[in-house]
Amino acid sequence: QLQFELDTGLTISLPDSKYAEEMERLDEMQHTDPDATVAVEYTDAHIAKVRYFQDSLMDRIAKTNAVIEVCPTSNYRIAAVRQHPVHRFVSRGLPIIVGADDPGIFDTNLEKEFEILKKEGLSVDELIEQSRRSSSARLSGRE
């Protein structure tokens, strides 16, 4: 963690009071029905701090040649997100490519993944073009 903080200028910390609270919550969750839905509530201040951290990381990604692979189905099923973070990536001009993570497990393919993003209000044609631009030389090893 210290090396990460030195390399990035970003600090990750969890105050002692929050650490104890999180450990207590984790202990309670171990005794919860695995099929139960667990509600987690965060304060506006906590959400603002997480957003700041995410924005800082996206700024750093923008300075690299990194391409972000987005896999809507797996994000929805694993993270239970209401809105896929692809909107934030696109609005910040980050290069993305659409993928179908674990198609055998999630019963998906690229066509279904693009359909999900279309329902999210994104232009499929623009996403396809952005995928082409993002994947060219960098991912093919021709760079």
Q: What is the pLDDT of residues 47-94, one digit of tens each?
A: 888 889 889 989 988 888 788 888 888 777 766 556 678 888 888 888
Tokens of residue 117, six digits: 């993003």
Model confidence at 97, in pLDDT bands (50, 70, 90)?
A: confident
Residue whose pair of structure tokens reads 């896929």 in the numeric block: 84
pTM: 0.62
Residue 127, class by beta-carbon neighbours within 10 Å (0-12 exposed, 13-18 middle, 19+ buried)? Answer: buried
For the cut 60, the answer to whether the pLDDT of residue 142 exceeds it is: no
Q: In terms of pLDDT, which residue wins out, 123 or 5?
A: 123
For the cut 60, the answer to whether the pLDDT of residue 136 exceeds it is: no
Residue length of the chain: 143
Can you spell out the DSSP letters for 9-46? Answer: S------HHHHHHHHHHHHHHHTS-TTS-------HHH
Using DSSP, state whether 98 is helix, strand or coil: strand
Q: For residue 14, what pLDDT is reported?
A: 61
Q: What is the pLDDT of residues 101-122, one digit of tens each?
A: 777 777 888 888 888 888 888 8
Mean pLDDT of the chain: 78
Task: Quote the distance between the C-alpha of residue 44 and its chain's center.
Answer: 20
Q: How many CB atoms lie within 10 A of CB 97?
A: 18
Query: What's the rounded Cα separation, in Å, for the pair 42 and 48?
Result: 10
